[in-house]
Chains A and B, each alone.
Chain A
Amino acid sequence: MREMIVNELSQATQELIREFARFLPRLMVMLIVVLVGWVIAYLVKWILRSILRLIKFDKLSEGAGAAQLLNKAALPSSTELVSRFAFWLAWLGFVLLGISALGILGMQEYVTRFFVFLPRLIVAVFFLFFGLLAASFFSRAALLWAVNTDMPSPRLLSSSVRILITIFTASAVFEELGLADSTMLLAFAIVMGAVMLGLAIAFGIGGQHLARRFLEARFAPEKKEGKEREDELSPL
């Protein structure tokens, strides 16, 4: 009996040692992949940071309004944030590669999923950045236009433009990420419909006089002739 137990234990230990001996090279491969991955990810971060500094990415994101958001959230500058993001993304990719080298059953699928998702994540980040940039640019353009043409409520117009573009950007980002596709589409349609209806009602009821003035100026300028005429000053 005792002999049998010792025999079994010895077999189990030998099996464990054999398994470990088989596993050890894969573990070493994983550690090497993770280590090399860290070095490559660090290089990617360094190169990306240099390029972003060269193209004055911080200034660009300042223009997009992203810098203000980051400041409020006590986050580092957008150059630092993007380069750190690239570092973690690259390193995570190598870590997953290393894990897949271990040959653990079931892990392969998650690794494949991650690499399939990666391009979509990068595209979504680009959508988000350029969407914010467009929202900032066009809202400022609307504000300047409204101020220089003496339109009422320039900031309301500017905010509306910003909100509309931000909503559109958010829906594009969620769609790219594949998160709650149908919910986002529905929410987007409802919000857009509500905004448009609201604007139409506001323009129709609240802006009767504005609409009349606009239409008169556009289609019936002769109606102004009855008023006392002012001399036009030429700036040039």
Chain B
Amino acid sequence: MSEESILTDEFLRQLINVGEADILVGVPTYNNAATIGHVVQTIRAGLLKYFPRERAVIVNADGGSRDQTPDLVRGASINDAQVSADIHALRTLHSISAQYPGEPATGTALRTILASAELLRASACAVVSPDSTTIEPDWIERLLRPVYQGTYDFVTPLYRRHKFDGLLIRNLVYPMTRAFYCKRVKEPYASEFAFSGQLGNHFLGQEIWTQEAGRTGTEISFTISAITGGYRLAQTFLGTKPHLDARSADLIAAMRQTVGALFWSLEPNFQLWSTHADSQNVPTLAPGQEVTLEPLRVNRKRLLGMFHSGVAELEPVLKQILSPPIVSELQRIATLGEDEFSYGDELWARTVYEFAASYHKSVISRDHIVQALAPLYRGRAFTFLVENRDSSGEEIEQNVENFCLTCERLKPSLVELWNGRK
């Protein structure tokens, strides 16, 4: 499908009315009526406050919402925003909204936004999640300014999170992306990010769109594409990561979007990741406090119980995916009680690498491989929760750093598994 054909006639008509733009902010939506009004108002406020002279447009790519989300986007005006009265637009701030064809999917929404940016020749673009209830106008400035100035091509966020929030990111997605692609991007699966028009066009031209990774998990594929394409990366602190709703807490969906897309990316980029060794830092433009420590009520026992039952019930599946020593070790730790249980860094890293190699070799259905990792991740999450029960923010960061170094150290074992030498 060409870039033009992904845009419906209605979308094209609205884009043609805009003409050209310097800055584009994309908001992918699907039934987000509860939050979208505030998000769009804040984006408008941010654009008017920090980019009053630039031609800016807000593009809402909607997946066919039935709760009047597009109407709320179109209706959100600066008058509703709680910003200072001295904000005046020097140019028209366009806000367009249209439904993209096909089923609701974040990948299709992102593709629509990229195609719009290409058509409008936008030099700096940002994508903002419709669930970002904690968004502030200065998020727009922090994300877009480095790209608009031409200093960087891709800006990812850093969030203030609870120390136990984003466990999958801390225990798998960040360390593994860093080990594979040698860039320390802490939020490789970002819900808010900014990119140059050049990078947007580069990603739009990738052959990802006919694959599953072009439908779900496209955000992490975008990050990987920016790294492998040699684009200039930066990170910027935004603020508190909004607590997501129950749908976002769906572990299997989260694993498909992140782990599935990450494993999938290894295939076309083998030459690159197999030859790179040490990771490099990514500049942080606006540092801030990243870990909060409020007490949380978490059912750790349930996590461990699901790990135990997963290892026992999935034995035939795990034997197809993992090597006998890893299966034996998992079965051994599955016999341990709550006090002695530990799913250590090295075993967890080796487990994930063997899953990645089995995914590459398609030993069983690839989606089943990703799903089979979920019970093991729960065991790892239990260990992380227990070991960091009393840890400070710095200690948590140090523990994550240690795990990242373990992943980097063990990376050659994945190359051996990949080439079938083990």
Binding site for B on A (CB under 8 A): 59, 62-63, 137, 140-141, 143-148, 150, 154-155, 228-236
Contacts and interface: CB of A to CB of B under 8 A. Distances in A.
A158 to B, nearest CB: 8
A144 B372 contact: yes
B189 A236 contact: yes
A143 B318 CA distance: 12
A138 to B, nearest CB: 11
Interface string B320-363: 00000000000000000000000000000000000000000011
A234 B314 contact: no
Contacts of A234: 165-166, 243-244, 248-249
Contact of B310 (A147, A229, A236): A147
A155 B309 CA distance: 11
B248 A236 contact: yes
Contact of B296 (A145, A231, A235): A231
Contact of B249 (A137, A141, A143, A233): A233
Contacts of B189: 236
Contacts of B167: 233, 235
B306 interface: yes
Given A230-B297, A234-B166, 18 more contacts: A59-B362, A59-B363, A62-B363, A140-B317, A140-B364, A143-B313, A143-B317, A145-B371, A147-B306, A147-B375, A148-B374, A150-B305, A233-B165, A234-B244, A235-B168, A235-B249, A236-B169, A236-B248
Task: Decide if the interface of chain A is mainly helix, strand, loop or mixed.
Answer: helix
Interface in B242-256: 243-244, 246, 248-249, 251-252, 254-255
B: interface residue count bin: 35 or more
Interface centre among A143, A147, A228 (most CB of B within 10 A): A147
Nearest to A140: B368
B309 A150 contact: yes
A233 B164 contact: yes
The 5 closest A-B pairs by CB, nearest first: A235-B168, A144-B371, A235-B254, A231-B296, A154-B313
B126 to A, nearest CB: 19
A77 to B, nearest CB: 16
Nearest to A137: B365
Interface in B353-390: 362-365, 368, 371-372, 374-375, 381
Nearest to B310: A147
Contact of B166 (A140, A145, A155, A235): A235
B298 interface: yes
Interface string B293-308: 0001111001001100
